[in-house]
A and B are shown apart, each in its own frame.
Chain A
Amino acid sequence: MPFKKPVQKFSAAINAVELGVGENKIVLGGQNVMPFYTFDNEIANPPKVGAEISDMGFEDQVQGITGFYADCASVADMAKKAAALDSVDFICLRLESADPNGKNAPVADCVHTAKAVSDAIDKPLVIIGCKNDEKDAVLFEKVAEALQGKNALYLSAKEENYKSIAAAVGLAYRQKVGAESSVDINLAKQLNVLISQIGVDGKSIVMNLGSAAAGYGFEYVVSTMDRVGAAALSQNDTMLQMPVITPVSTESWSVKESIATQEDMPHWGSQEQRGVSMEIVTAAADLASGSSAVILRHPASIETISKLIKELI
Chain B
Amino acid sequence: MAKFITIGERIHCISPAIREAMNTMNPDPILKRAEEQIKAGATYLDVNIGPAESNGIELMKWAVKLIQEKFDNIPLALDTSNKAAIEAGISVYNRSKGKPIVNSADAGDRIDNIDLAAANDAIIIALCSKEGVPSDNDERMAYCQEMLERGMMGGMDTADMWFDPLFLVIKGMQDKQSDVLEAIRMFTEMGLNSTGGLSNCSNGMPKHIRPIMDSAMVAMAMQCGLTSAIVNPCDLRLMETIKSCDIIKNETLYADSYLEI
Contacts and interface: CB of A to CB of B under 8 A. Distances in A.
Interface stretch (B5-13, B62-70, B118-126, B252-260): B252-260
A237 B252 CA distance: 7
B257 A185 contact: no
A186 interface: yes
Contacts of B261: 193, 239
B252 A193 contact: no
Interface in A135-182: none
Contact of B254 (A186, A228, A235): A186
A26 to B, nearest CB: 28
A189 B255 contact: yes
A215 to B, nearest CB: 27
Contacts of B254: 186, 189
Interface of B: 2-3, 251-257, 260-261
Interface string A179-203: 0000001110110111001000000
Given A193-B257, A240-B253, 7 more contacts: A186-B255, A186-B256, A189-B255, A193-B260, A228-B253, A235-B252, A237-B252
A190 B251 contact: no
6 contacts: A186-B254, A193-B257, A193-B260, A193-B261, A235-B251, A237-B253
A256 interface: no
Contacts, number: 34
A288 interface: no
A198 to B, nearest CB: 12
Contacts of A186: 253-256
B257 A190 contact: yes
Contacts of A193: 255, 257, 260-261
A227 interface: yes
B3 A190 contact: no
B257 A235 contact: no
B252 A231 contact: yes
Contacts of A231: 252-253
Contact of A235 (B253, B255, B256, B260): B253
Given A235-B2, A235-B3, A189 B253 contact: yes
A192 B255 CA distance: 10
Nearest to B254: A186
Nearest to B251: A235
B253 A185 contact: yes
Contacts of B3: 235
Contact of A227 (B251, B253, B260): B253
A197 B255 CA distance: 14
Give 8 closest A-B pairs by Cβ, nearest first. A189-B255, A190-B255, A193-B257, A231-B253, A190-B256, A186-B254, A189-B253, A186-B255
Contacts of B251: 235
A123 to B, nearest CB: 34
Given A235-B2, A235-B3, A197 B260 contact: yes
Contacts of A192: 255
A10 to B, nearest CB: 12
Interface string A225-242: 001100100010101100
A189 B257 CA distance: 9
A193 B255 CA distance: 8
Contacts of B253: 185-186, 189, 227-228, 231, 235, 237, 240
Interface centre among B251, B260, B261 (most CB of A within 10 A): B261
Contacts of A240: 253
A235 B252 CA distance: 7
A240 B252 CA distance: 11
A44 to B, nearest CB: 21
Contacts of B260: 193, 197
B247 to A, nearest CB: 10
